[in-house]
Amino acid sequence: MNKLKWWQGEWYERQRINEAAAELAAVDVIADSQGQQLRRLFELDRDQGREIARLQAATGVLMEFLVESKVVEEGALRARLDSAFAALDPQQPTSPAAQGERTGRGGPAAPPQRQVTCPVCGRQVALRNTFVTVSGEVCDQCYYAAQGET
C-alpha cells in the first residue's frame, strides 16, 4: 500500500474499520432480526466507505496534480481544506477569519445552536451546556448545584 497522504488518513482508517465490520458480519454470529438490521447497516456503511474511498482517491489525484503542476501551493491548499473541514464540524470553534471567509463566499451558514429551557431554573441555554438527567436536560449550573447538594 502506498504511503498515505495527509488528506487520506482518516477515511482510509475508516475503510479498514468497515472491512473489519464486514468480516465480523461474514462470521455469521449475528442471526436474529435485530442482528440482520445491524448487518445491513454495516453493509451500507461499508459500501459508503468504498464510495468515499473512491471519491477521496479522485480528489487526491486532483490535488496532487494541482500541486505538481504548480497551479496551487500545497500549504495554501492545505489551509483552505483545514478551514473547510473546520466549517463542517460545528463542535470546532472557527476563527473569525474563517467565518468571514465563509459568509463572504455566501456559503451555507452554520446551523443555529439548539437552545433548550432548563426545567429547574427556566433559563434558555445551549444544548451543549446541558446534562441529561432524570428530570430532563438540565443546565450545567443547576446540574452542578444539584451535585453539590448530594
Residues near Zn ion (CB under 5 A) = 118, 120-121, 139, 142
Complex with Zn ion: residue 42 or 143, whichever CB lies closer: 143
Q: How far is CA 115 from CA 62, 92, 123, 149, in A?
A: 41, 18, 10, 26
Asked if 91 contacts 97 with a C-beta cutoff of 8 angstroms, the reply is no
Residue 68 CB burial class (10 angstroms; 0-12, 13-18, ≥19): exposed
Complex with Zn ion: residue 21 or 139, whichever CB lies closer: 139
Nearby residues of 2 by Cβ (< 8 Å), 6 or more positions away? none
Complex with Zn ion: residue 25 or 138, whichever CB lies closer: 138
CB of 137 to Zn ion, least distance (A): 10
CB of 125 to Zn ion, least distance (A): 7
CB of 93 to Zn ion, least distance (A): 24
Complex with Zn ion: residue 88 or 134, whichever CB lies closer: 134
How many other β-carbons are positioned within 10 Å of the β-carbon of residue 142?
20
CB of 88 to Zn ion, least distance (A): 31
